Structure 1
Amino acid sequence: MSVQLYVYYRVANEHVDAALVAFRKARVEAPIELLQRPEPDEQGRWTWMEIYPEGWGHREPGVAAAMAPWLATERRVERFEMLG
């Protein structure tokens, strides 16, 4: 089965630039996508989502460690399988 990881969390507005640099350094050449909700929450925090394609989930712990100083909330990791 093809399994993809979806990881989401919030980043405070004042940490967005540093968090983005940390993500890019940790990702290196891996095809990990980073998405952002179009609007911040009521506290000004941005919701980000990392998407790990099949075969790249082993990189998640390293990215998690790099992102830890910049998070405003806990990282939530979800696993999904491809259907059909």
Structure 2
Amino acid sequence: MDVKYIKDYLSWLYYQYLLITCSYVLEPWEKSIFNTLLLTAIAMVIYSSYVFIPIHVRLAMEFFSGICGGQHESTIALMS
């Protein structure tokens, strides 16, 4: 890939980000606060998804396997 093409594409994406969020009208200090809050919110969503979604999927699978007549794990085998 051409380096100039990648640079142009990334600058186009950044320009689209500025247009969508309307942050092109903000002053530099306002823009940095806005970007910090946005990145913090995105990081919190990603972290909570990483932590809680597997737990909910496991619980849902246990629930539906119990409804559909799946085999339950033995508690004796877990203690050994």
The TM tier, using the shorter chain, reads: under 0.3
User: Who wins on radius of gyration, i.e. which is larger?
Assistant: 2
Q: Which is richer in strand?
A: 1
Give me the TM-score of the superposition, normalised by structure 2: 0.26
Give me the TM-score of the superposition, normalised by structure 1: 0.25
Higher relative contact order (CA 8 A, sep 6+): 1
